[in-house]
Structure 1
Amino acid sequence: MGYACPVCEIPQQDETHLANHLAFAAMLGNEDHEGWLDEHVPGWGEMDPETLGERAVPFASEEEFETVFEDTAHDHGGPGRLEDAVPPQRGRQTMGGEASEILAEAEAMTREMYESEEE
């Protein structure tokens, strides 16, 4: 059992994973997730994952998933590639130098992973 994200329906295995998914997508600039959080869970940016999960889960449908990890999202109607889910470069202008470098490295690693899978 798990929860379908109330925004994109990507499966999450529990409340904490749902909270992390919503917040991570919103902080990386996914406007749909950010808007949903702003509307349904005001003050979400100040909450820990447990509190955010408790507040968000009433809006998520509880479903049985064969696999409940985001790397299988393409099997459940969600985006199959990171760039489909998160606009590139969005939000980086507000980050400090080290955070921006870490995000750039993660984006490059993700691109490489998808490119090697396509070969």
Structure 2
Amino acid sequence: MGYACPVCEDPQADAEHLANHLAFTALLGDDAHEAWLDEHAPDWDQADADALAATVTEIAAETDYPQVFENTVDGHDHDHDHERSGALFDDEGRAVERGRERARDLSGLDDADEDILEEAREMTRRMRGEGESEGGDADADATDSETE
């Protein structure tokens, strides 16, 4: 058993999840959730999760909460001997760069601004030691640039 959100009827696993759902949704700008909390739990923004949970569960309707466990989702009980490739993470570096390019396109920055940002990124990489694998000494480079 769980609780249905009294505002949007989203099922929540337990009282703490319901309290967190209401508070986070309100904090993220949902006026209906905030209004409900203001009316039924006026001190919601000062209360901890346990106190808020106790308040909201007095009002919220209990409901069935479907729980899916890892051992019940496949509907079969054979071993999987195929390799899990991790391909999901192979393109992570390229995805980050595509995100930067998209942000650049949307930012409205000119070429000079982009050069400054790229220089800042490079300095950050050197500070973090990422430049060492490229044949440079990150500490020496950081010290040289700091003394200029």
The two structures have a TM-score, normalised by structure 1, of 0.55
Listed as ranges, the gaps of 5+ residues in structure 2 are 69-98, 100-148
Query: Which residue number corresponds to residue 63 of structure 2?
Result: 63
Deviation per residue, 1:38-85 (Å, 9 max, x gap): 0000110000001000000111110112248xxxxxxxxxxxxxxxxx
- The 1-side partners of 2:46 and 2:67 are apart by 30
- For the residues of structure 1 that align with 2:29 and 2:19, how far apart are their CA atoms? 16
Q: Indicate the structure (1 or 2) with the bigger Cα radius of gyration.
A: 2
Aligned amino acid, residue 38 of structure 1: D
Structure 1 distance, partners of 2:45, 2:60, is 19
Over 3 Å off, 4+ runs: none
In structure 2, C-alpha distance between the alignment counterparts of 1:66 and 1:27, rounded to whole Å: 26
Q: What secondary structure sits across from 1:26 in the alignment?
A: helix
* Number of residues of Structure 1 aligned to a counterpart in Structure 2: 69
In the alignment, what sits opposite 1:41? 41
Root mean square deviation, CA, Å: 1.7
Q: Structure 2 matches for 1:59-98, cutoff 5 A?
A: 59-67=59-67
- Structure number with greater CO (CA < 8 Å, separation at least 6) is 1
CA deviation vs aligned residue, 1:72-104 (integer Å, no higher than 9, x gap): xxxxxxxxxxxxxxxxxxxxxxxxxxxxxxxxx
Hey, what does 2:6 align to over in structure 1? Answer: 6
Question: What is the TM-score with the length of structure 2 in the denominator?
Answer: 0.44
What SS does the aligned partner of 1:59 have?
coil
Q: Which runs of 5+ in 1 are unaligned?
A: 69-107, 109-119
What are the Cα deviations for residues 16-39 of structure 1, in whole angstroms up to 9, with x where unaligned? 100000000000000000000000
SS in 1 for 2:62: strand
Identity of counterpart residues, as a percentage? 54
| Equivalent position SS for 2:53 | helix
1:23 aligns with 2:23: yes
